[in-house]
Structures are given as structure tokens and as C-alpha cells.
Structure 1
Amino acid sequence: MAMELRALVLLLLCFPGLQGQTPETQRRREGDTLYIQCPYTPETTRQRTKYWCLPLGNKQCQEVVRTYSESIQQSHDGRTKIKDDPTTKTVSVTMADLKAEDSGTYFCALYKSYYDYPRLRTISLNVFKELLQWELDTLTVQCPAGSDAWCRGQADCTGPVRKQTQPSKQSEIKSLQGTVSLQYKAQGALVVTMKNLKARDSGVYWCAQGVERTRKMEVVLSVFKRTQKLSAKESGNVSVQCHYKIADYETVSKAWCKKEEGEMCNVLVTTRPESPAGNSTARKRVRIQDDTRQGIVTVTMEQLQVQDSGVYWCALQGGSGLVRVEEVTLNVSKALPPGGFPGSESQSEEILLGDSCNGNTFVILSVVLLILLLLALLTSIALGVRYYKLLLRTGIREAQDTSDRAEGTAQPGSTGRRESSQDDSKGSAYINLDVKSHPNPEDPLYCNVEPSQAARSPRHVEYAVIAFNPSPRTGRE
């Protein structure tokens, strides 16, 4: 196998023309865009007309669109465009808003003669339909002309078939199983109908032609089941509504069952005249009602218990078993006692309450911390203002004391200075002493005057007599 691949690569390298003959697979979803570039060699530059073709015969071309120059040309429907760039020697093709019927083999080609269109590049285009359906819906697909089989996967095909009428409604109701029918219409078109779809019908399908099962059109089918999720309290009630198509399932019996292990579903109640086997307490608490005018099945479960939690089905009940209409997941939680808290048996409730309390505690602590922070900030501001005012007052007092001392007040033990508002030569000098402490009366007090401070020819001499009142002394007379 490896040798064969190597040989193929060598052939493509040695003979570039073979690249146009080998198809490349391109897969696109409906509505997408295909963009292809087809390079050509300088030798083919003189062939100005370039084509985007579908195969026709051996070397002929069924023209989709063509270009004569560098201008962009488009097809009649405007979805396909082609452009030739002689500078890069490349032909560009764009197919927009793809449809399933666009699937097929395409190629870029040069015009050589009416019967000869040398290929530059070949594309096998597969445009698939993406279909989304609900369970029990009906899918109808019209295959391209020439299709005679409906296949799934690689080789699981149905057909070819002869033209036939659809099975009657009555036969469908009896079986309640997914059915596939093939019909031929005018001009040989094949119509595929899939009824009673189920989730397991999801997959890749395709319309095929001939014994070789040539793929004509591909369909990607996704089937979803209808679901509901309900919650209820113990001893309470719950009501469920399930819808169905009246035209298809009006006369079919409806059932309500609880899903067990595996594929088994235990029927609790049914619209059939006969009751389900057994007469358990659970069945007595379940009622079902079918409104065939609106296509609604209503199921009511009363006096719920915790063990009623689980997966249930609204189902069609036929001779071949149950067919799911809708899946319901029910969760029954234990009820709280009046005015109390859950006991140890309801741990899930305790966890929920604990989480709530923890959340409230966190909020309260956050608020308290915020208030304390604001109080601390206000206190700091108040203390700062008070300290600032204290500094101002202290500065004023120091200034006043300094001015008082500047007038000539001397402290004991310090050198007295003479202060006078007059000139030294015009008057006498005075020395004021401010003695704040009480010295011993027996100690002498001296006052020294420098010669430079005394007048040279004083007219008057004044003396200062300083007297001290002895302060009472303890233990002395």
C-alpha cells in the first residue's frame, strides 16, 4: 500500500496534468460557501477562457460559469463566481449559499476545443442537509432525480423499490414502530418518509443511485427527546402535561410509567379501561387524563414521598410495548417541620440552611468591620485636629513668653541684660530681676554691671534694693 501511494505521488509530480484528473473531496453544510483556487502553467496563458464545469461525456464540459478576462463573472443564479488572475496564474471559484442538490463533481478547465477541456483541478463536492427533529416526529426527504435507494452508514440501504402508496393510518397506530417508506413521484423523484422517529434514529443518511450505490445527497439527522425537570416537596402534589400530535396518536392509549434499570418502564397508570397489574399504593396516588381535542396528556401525582423521585415517561401504549413521548425527571425533597429546622435525616436541607447562614454571617461581619473602620477614621481625624489646635496654642504661648523675656526679665543663675528705650548716654540704666524661686535669705545676691554699660559722667545714681520675704520653712525658726 505504501509503495502504491509513493508511485501515485511520483506520477503527480512528474505529470502535473494528472492532478486535474484526481478528484478532491470537499464536504459542506447547506448554506455554507465553497472557495477553490485552480493554478495553471505559463504555457496555458494563451488560452484565455477558463471554465467551471460539471462532467459531460469523456472530456466535455457542462458549463456552470466561465471567464474571458480578469473581471469577475457569475452564473445565472448569482451564487457561483469565477475570476482569472494572470499575474498569479490562478483561477478562483466561489460557490455561495450551497444547497444539497449542488452535490456532485466539478472541475476547473481550459478551452482547447469543443470536445476537449483540459482539467486544472477536480472537486467532489458533498453538500449535506442537517435536520433536527423531535421524537415521534415524521421526516420527509426528497432525493435528487435518479436516486433509487435510501442508505444509512456505509452499506445499510433500503431499495430499490417500486412505486407504492403510504401505509394506512390504522396500520401505523397498531405497530407504533418507526417506519421507513419510499415513494416515486413525477419525473422519477424519490421521496423518503420516516415516521415515529426515536433518538436512536440519529445518524448519517444518503440518497443512492444504481447498484454501485452512488451517493447523490447526504442527510445528517439528529433526533432529540423531549424532557422536563420538576421539583416538589414531600406530601405535596405535582402535575405534568405531555403533548402529542392529534392526527397521528389521537386513538392510541397513553400511559405513565417509572423508568427502572435497563430499558424497563413500570406502568403506574394508563388510559386503557383495564388497570395495570397490581394495586400498589403508588398507583392509587396517580391519575391520568387524555384530552384528545388538544393533544395533551395530564398526569397528577398526590401525597408525594421522597422515594417517588426518579425518571418517568409519558408514553404511547401499543401492542408492541411503550413508545416514549416525553421524559420527566422528578425530584421530591423532604419537607421541613412547621416552625422548626430539619432533623439529622435531611442532611441536604441542613446543608442548604448552613450555606444560607454562612452567607448571612459573612454579610453581617462585613458591615460591622466597615462601621469600625469608619469610626477609626473619624477618631483619627478628630485627634489630628485637636493636636493641631494644641500646637497652635503652644506656639502662641511660647511667643508671648519670649516677648516678656525680651523686655529684660532675667532668670536666676543667668546674666541679666539691661534693656532701655532710651539711649545709654541720656539716662540711667535699670536692671530688673525676676526671681521665680525663693533663694535662701542668708545668701547674698549680686548684680554685676559692665563698665561699658555705666554712664561715664552719671548725674544720678540709683540703687536697687531687693528684699525677699522668707518663706515658711518646715522645722526651722
Structure 2
Amino acid sequence: MCNDPCGNEDVFTRSQNNQYKYSTYDDKTSRIFTVTISDLRLDHAGKYWCGVNRKRLIDLYTEVKLEVRKDRCCDTVNQTQSTEEGSVTISCPYDSQSVNKLKFFCRGNRPSTCLQQAVITSSNTQDGRFRLSDDRKSGIFTVTISSLTLKDSGSYLCGVQRNSGFDVFTAVELEVKDRCCDTVNNIQGNEDGSVTISCPYDYHSIDKLKFFCRGNRPSTCLQQAVITSSNTQDGRFRLSDDRKSRIFTVTISSLTLKDSGSYLCGV
């Protein structure tokens, strides 16, 4: 194999000579020889020639154009947030030509090692806290990470393997927060009295389930909810949903000193 224009001084490796970062393999059965170049740099990009020396005949040449990209991805990064001990689902779109290709998901921002270091792939869809689902109709595969920890914060890549050329990637930056929320509303009530707590929500949440729980852990709030919009009365707790103003309220009656503490409104 040689650099362009492939004179004698341009040959950098031969089938009988593996050296430094160039190695060759000659498969005589399929009549294909391969050259592996390790430790690629951007300046390795360019035109190369594969040559076959034929005694008493004209040598054979095959032109190869090598493109080398920076080992980082991507120009656009999707930002995703979730809370500690909760879960997050990351969407990874792909084109129609990739329906039957291998999908994979890795931590970090290096495309060159992503497949080898993948935490989950479409051929192994469940691995510990990671689960991959491929919706071929919509052209999106999703990765769900459960039991999140603060250490899960960081960069990830969604990848689709291509038989030739570069694999295709999208980048995700995950932030795992340890608690909720940035703003806390302080409310007071009297023992044996009642208190009404207002919980605003946006237009897209009108038909969503609303719930109210004690504590400050979003990951377990729904499971431990003391009241929900599907069960609006439970003992001393009552929930009312004003869809027009997009505010649901929770009334706690017969207050005791033990009712003091943190609560979360959830949608």
C-alpha cells in the first residue's frame, strides 16, 4: 500500500512486512488483502493506492480515499434531566436505511470506541439498569436507565452501525439531580385546622395524572402519593383539579403537628 502517487518511495507497507502502526493480512482464498492503520491522525486523510506486483505483467492498483474525522461527537447535544433513584428514557432517532442495523448506546463522547464499550445494544436489550427498545415503525430506539445515581450524569452517545463508512451518532448530556426543587413554597396552618395547597401545571398536563406526596424524593413520589386525581378523597386529604386555570389543589384537614414537613405536587 502506498501514498499517492505511489512511486517506490511512497510505499509504506507490504504484505510480507508488518511494521509500526501498519499491518497487513492477505486472504488468498477470497483474494483480498487488508491493511490496518492504527493511531490514526487527521493528517492521515487523503488518497492511497492498494497495489499488486505482477511479474512480467502490469501491476494492479485500487484507489482508496481515506477520511479521518475528529474522535468526538456531535455538533448538537440533547440535554436530559432526571432525579436520583428515578429513571430516564432517552430517545435516539435514526433514518429508514438503518431499520435493520445494530443500535447501541455508550457512555462518553468518543465514536471510535462507542460500540466496543456499549452498555446496551439492540442484540442485548436488557443489561442491569439499562433497557433498549427499538420502535422500527417510528424510526426511534429508546434507552431507559433506572435507579439513577448522581454518577450517571455525563455524556452519552446513541449509535447506529453502518456496514461501510462511519457509524451514525447522536449525543446526549444527562444531568441527574439529587432532589426537588429549586423553588419551595412555604405554607402555614394551625393545629386542628385545615390548609389548601395550590399546584400549578402547564397546558400539556391538563389530561395527565396529578398526585401529591410527602417528602422530597421525586423518584418515589407517585408510588407513595397520599392523594391523586384518580382518587380525589382519601381520609384527611382531598384533591380538586381546576383545568380552566390549570391548578390542582390539595386540602389537608384536621392538621396535626406531625403534618409539618416537605411535600411534592406531581404531574
Normalised by the shorter chain, which TM-score bucket? 0.3 to 0.5
Higher helix share: 1
Higher strand share: 2
> What is the TM-score normalised by the length of structure 2?
0.47
> What is the TM-score normalised by the length of structure 1?
0.30
Ranked by relative contact order (alpha carbons within 8 Å, sequence separation 6 or more), the top structure is 2
Larger Rg: 1
